[in-house]
Amino acid sequence: MYHVLIADDHAVVRSGLAYLINQQPNFEVIDEAADGTSTYLRVEQGDVDILVMDLSMPPGESGLITTQRIHEHFPDVRILILSMHEEQEYINKALHNGAMSYIMKSSSDDELLKALKTVANGEEYVDTNIVITKSDVQQINSNGVDTNLTGYNGLSKREREVFPLVALGYSNKEIAAKLFISTKTVEAHKANIMRKLALNNRSDLIRYAIHHHLIDF
């Protein structure tokens, strides 16, 4: 039995996907999440085999960043992106960041189920409505780290969880409650983030987050 986690900011979408997936033999939806941070924290708890995730789940961390973080720390979790974004930039970046599959929300249920079963077999699957060129393959398979994001990539796992919450204006107390850590720990993480990214204040952090597409408002 493959345990599936569904991540989407719309409850009705999560409900529909859960109903569809639970009808399939050998697949069971064990939980749902509505944003990037919650998705990562649920994967961290264990027992997730396949993650079906949207890329835009405001407010919070960009799905592209969530994909990268989960792939880095939990490479055995198979990530299937289900998104409305048809732009090649999103598709290439998602696959580059570790997604095994990319399906359009405008596609049929059959397309999603085919992707789900292919990913379960450990194989990659891209929506038949998406055309991948040689140039796209080069971008997807490139080993280079985005030089503009070297500072961000140097943040610790926990610092990357604190980052979007700070940018969105959550208080230290709210961040502490959301991540199950103390306010003093939040303050320490915030100080480290500002130092590592060479930022002076929250306004600088917000500009940095928007410029690098790290969060969805």
Which has the closest alpha carbon to 41: 32, 54, 49, 50?
32
Determine the Cα–Cα distance for residues 37 and 62; give it in Å rounded to an integer. Answer: 9
Global pTM reads 0.81
Going by pLDDT thresholds of 50, 70 and 90, the confidence category of residue 13 is very high
Joined together, the tokens standing for residue 205 give 């952090």
Q: What is the pLDDT of residues 82-123, one digit of tens each?
A: 999 888 888 988 999 999 999 999 999 999 999 999 999 999
Contacts of residue 93, Cβ cutoff 8 Å, sequence gap at least 6: 64
Say whether pLDDT at 171 is over 70.
yes
Say whether pLDDT at 129 is over 90.
no
149 vs 52, residue with greater confidence: 52
Q: What is the pLDDT of residues 26-81, one digit of tens each?
A: 999 999 999 998 999 999 999 999 999 999 898 888 899 999 999 999 999 999 99
Phi/psi at 14 (nearest 5 deg)? -60, -40
Which has the closest alpha carbon to 73: 101, 31, 118, 41?
41
